[in-house]
C-alpha cells in the first residue's frame, strides 16, 4: 500500500510542481527576489541558497537611506509585510530582514556594504548579463524579458531572427536545467552549432543588432551598444561540449576533422565613420557600430584598427562536463574613453566562415564586468 501511495504522490508532484521531503509533498517554488537594485549602486547580487541580497555602494556612501530603483519577485511570492517597491527608501546601515511567503515563510536578508577603495570591485553592468531573462518573439528566442523596455531589448541579440523566423530553427536558446548558479528564475544561454538546410550556423549571442540576412551567403550583424566605462576584465561561467569540425569553407578546409573551438571576446572601441579609415563605406554606421557582413568578408581588424581601445579574447576546445569560471583580462591600447562595447560568444569560433562542428554546444552564464576603483 505504501508503494502505491508513493506512486500516486509522484504523479501529483509532476502535476503540481512539488517535491518529496521525508515522504511529504513540499512545493519546490521559493519566495524571493529575481532582481534588486538601488540608485547609485556599484553592484548587487542575489544568493538564493543563503537567501541574501547584497548591494555594494561606493566607498563612504551613506547606507541609511537607499532608494530602490529595481525590484522583481519570483512568481509564487506573497507578502507577509509591506511590499518593497521601486522608489521606496530603505535603511541598510544594518541587515534588513524581510519575510516573504510561498508554501512557507522565507526570511531574506538585505545587506549593503561599501566598496573597498583598495580592491577591485564590480562597476557598471549591462542589462541581462546573467542571461536569466528570455522571451519568445515570433518563432525565435531572444535574451530579454517579455516586458523589457525598448532599450533593454537593444542590448543582446542573436542570429535567431534569421534562422528561426525564416527557417524555424533557434541556434541560441534559454537553458533552465543546467545553469552555473541554480535558483528560482535562473537560466543560462545555450549556443548550439547546427546545419540548417544548406548552411552551417554557429550558435551566438552578442551586444548589438541583427540587421538581416544577405541571401543564403551570410548576414549583417551590427556590433556594439553605447558604453563609456573601462572595466578591468569580463568574468563569467562557461561549459563547452565540442564535436569535430565537419563543415568548412574553402579557406578553412585544413580544419576539417579537428576539434571545434568556442569563443568569448570583448571589444571596447570608439568607431566613428567620419574619423577612422581602412574599412569599406558603411562598415561603421551613424551609431558608431561595426557591421560584420560575412558574405562580403567584412570583419573587424582586431590587430590594426586604431579605434579599438581595449580588447580581450578567450578561446577553448576541451570537452567539459560542468561549468568553469573565466576571467578575460582586457588589454587597453589607449587612454581614450570608449563609445561602444562588443561582447560576442560563439559555439564555433569560425562560424562567420560557415566553419565548425554541427553539434558543438556552448553554455554561458552570469557574465559581469570587474573594475578597478580608479576606473569607476
Over residues 168-178, the pLDDT tens digits come to 789 999 999 99
Quote the cell numbers at residue 62: 551613506
Exposure pattern of 110-136 as b/e (b: 16+ CB <10 Å)?
A: bbbeebeeeeebbbebbbbbbbbbbee
Show the cell assigned to 332.
587597453
Backbone CA torsion sign across 54, 57, 60, 66? negative
Q: How far apart are CA 305 and CA 269, in angstroms?
A: 9
Asked whether 78 and 31 are in contact (CB, 8 A), the reply is yes
Q: Are residues 110 and 93 in the same domain?
A: yes
User: Can you give the pTM of this predicted structure?
Assistant: 0.70
Is the pLDDT at 16 greater than 80, yes or no? no
Q: Indicate if 250 and 212 belong to the same structural domain.
A: yes
Please indicate, yes or no, whether residues 4 and 37 belong to a single structural domain of this protein.
Answer: no
Residue 61 has pLDDT above 80, yes or no: yes
Predicted pLDDT at 19: 42
- Are 208 and 289 found together in one domain? yes
Query: Is residue 121 one of the residues assigned to a domain?
Result: no
Domains held by the chain: number: 3
Q: Of 64, 83, 114, which marks where a domain is finished?
A: 114
Verify that 177 and 284 share a domain, yes or no. yes
Number of alpha carbons in the 13 Å side-chain half-sphere of residue 258:
14
Strands 89-90 and 66-73, sheet pairing = antiparallel
Of the two residues 315 and 249, the one the predictor is more confident about is: 315
- Percent pLDDT > 70 in the chain is 86
Q: Cell match 580592491: residue?
A: 119
* Integer angstrom CA distances of residue 331 from 152, 196, 231, 311, 326: 28, 36, 10, 5, 16
Query: CA 120, CA 115: separation in Å to the nearest integer?
Result: 9
**Looking at the chain, how many residues does it have?**
376
pLDDT score of 12 more than 70: no
Domain assignment of residue 10, given as a range: 1-29
Q: What is the mean pLDDT of residues 153-157?
A: 93
Paired with 342 in beta bridges are 267
Higher confidence at residue 5 or residue 241?
Answer: 241
Residue 119, in any domain of the structure: no
**CA triple 231-229-143, angle to 5 deg:** 85
Amino acid at each position: 500500500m505504501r508503494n502505491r501511495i508513493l506512486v500516486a504522490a509522484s504523479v501529483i508532484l509532476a502535476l503540481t510542481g512539488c517535491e518529496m521531503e521525508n515522504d511529504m509533498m513540499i512545493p519546490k517554488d521559493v519566495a524571493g527576489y529575481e532582481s534588486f537594485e538601488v540608485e547609485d549602486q556599484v553592484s548587487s547580487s542575489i544568493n538564493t541558497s543563503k537567501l541574501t541580497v547584497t548591494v555594494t555602494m561606493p566607498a563612504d556612501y551613506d547606507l541609511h537611506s537607499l532608494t530602490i530603483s529595481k525590484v522583481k519577485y519570483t512568481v509564487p511570492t506573497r507578502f507577509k509585510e509591506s511590499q518593497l517597491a521601486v522608489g521606496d527608501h530603505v535603511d541598510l546601515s544594518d541587515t534588513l530582514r524581510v519575510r516573504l511567503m510561498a508554501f512557507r515563510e522565507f526570511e531574506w536578508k538585505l545587506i549593503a556594504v561599501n566598496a573597498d577603495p583598495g580592491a577591485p570591485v564590480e562597476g557598471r553592468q549591462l542589462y541581462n548579463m546573467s542571461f536569466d531573462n528570455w522571451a519568445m518573439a515570433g518563432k525565435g528566442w531572444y535574451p530579454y524579458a517579455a516586458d523589457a523596455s525598448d532599450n533593454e531589448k537593444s542590448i543582446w541579440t542573436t542570429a535567431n531572427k534569421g534562422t528561426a523566423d525564416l527557417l524555424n530553427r533557434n541556434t541560441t536558446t534559454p537553458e533552465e536545467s543546467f545553469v552555473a548558479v541554480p535558483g528560482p528564475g535562473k537560466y543560462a544561454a545555450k549556443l548550439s552549432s547546427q546545419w540548417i538546410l544548406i548552411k552551417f550556423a554557429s550558435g551566438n549571442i552578442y551586444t548589438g543588432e541583427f540587421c538581416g540576412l544577405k541571401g543564403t551567403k551570410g548576414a549583417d550583424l551590427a556590433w556594439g551598444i553605447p558604453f563609456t566605462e573601462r572595466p578591468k576584465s569580463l568574468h563569467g561561467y562557461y561549459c563547452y561540449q565540442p564535436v569535430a569540425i565537419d563543415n568548412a569553407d574553402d579557406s578553412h578546409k585544413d580544419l576539417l576533422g579537428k576539434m571545434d573551438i568556442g569563443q568569448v571576446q570583448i571589444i571596447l572601441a570608439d568607431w566613428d565613420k567620419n574619423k577612422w579609415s581602412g574599412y569599406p563605406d558603411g562598415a561603421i554606421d551613424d551609431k558608431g557600430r561595426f557591421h560584420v557582413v560575412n558574405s562580403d568578408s567584412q570583419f573587424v581588424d582586431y590587430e590594426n584598427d586604431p579605434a579599438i581601445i581595449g580588447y580581450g579574447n578567450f578561446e577553448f576546445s576541451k570537452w567539459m562536463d560542468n561549468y568553469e569560471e573565466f576571467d578575460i583580462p582586457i588589454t587597453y591600447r589607449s587612454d581614450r574613453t570608449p563609445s561602444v562595447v562588443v561582447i560576442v560568444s560563439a559555439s564555433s569560433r569560425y562560424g562567420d566562415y560557415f566553419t565548425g562542428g554541427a553539434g558543438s554546444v556552448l553554455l554561458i552564464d552570469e557574465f559581469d564586468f570587474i573594475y578597478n576603483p580608479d576606473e569607476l
